[in-house]
Amino acid sequence: MRLPATDLGIMAEHLATHEGMINKFKIYYMTVRNPVLKNLLYRHIHILREHVRVMLEFIDPSKAGQVHLPSLKDIHLKFGNEQISEQEKDITLEARATAKLMSSNNFMSALMMKDVNVKHAHIEMALQEERFQSLYNQIIKHIDGEFTPKVSEKMQLLTLHKYYHILSE
């Protein structure tokens, strides 16, 4: 298959990013002891390698037809009494930020891509990265590792009343 130049350029950049991410996550994997985080990092490395495989198949001019990502099987985190160190908390926060950035990057790239199959695969990659972001977030919530401020009910009602008129315009 012959790719549009735009798609090839974007994927070449993604491949370099994936190489760095996989290597970073391998270091994290070797560092952490918490079994929930360790398993999640392992699965994330695996799916990143699948993203690389798919992009390489798209780039290979001798390949023809559809290229598919494997589905991301349901991953359920099972928390026990395991402790998480400060370093592991930092790794979890960084891994979540990385997944969020990659999800956004894949989606924005898909909007610029020309080949329908390449575009669709990158939307799927974005959704998979969003799923990992959510999984890392579960760990962060479990360890009470983040504070999210909430607005008052009064502020929400003020906002509701300010913009409610849009529905009747």
Predicted confidence (pLDDT) at residue 66 exceeds the cutoff of 90: no
Q: What is the pLDDT of residues 7-27, one digit of tens each?
A: 999 999 999 999 999 999 999
Amino acid 113: pLDDT: 97
The topology under which CATH files domain 5-168 is Ferritin (1.20.1260)
Which residue shows structure tokens 């960084």?
94
The CA distances from residue 3 to 62, 70, 114, in Å, are: 12, 22, 9
**What is d(CA 121, CA 110) in angstroms, rounded to the nearest whole number?**
8
Confirm if 44 and 99 have CB atoms less than 8 A apart. Answer: yes
Predicted confidence (pLDDT) at residue 1 exceeds the cutoff of 80: no
Is residue 120 classed exposed, middle or buried when 0-12, 13-18 and 19+ CB atoms within 10 A define those classes?
A: middle
Question: Is this structure's pTM higher than 0.95?
Answer: no
What is the share, in percent, of the chain residues with pLDDT greater than 90?
84
- Kindly indicate the confidence band of residue 81, based on its pLDDT and cuts at 50, 70 and 90: confident
**What is d(CA 12, CA 52) in angstroms, rounded to the nearest whole number?**
10
Instruction: Read off the tokens for 97.
Output: 């930020």
- Kindly indicate the confidence band of residue 73, based on its pLDDT and cuts at 50, 70 and 90: confident
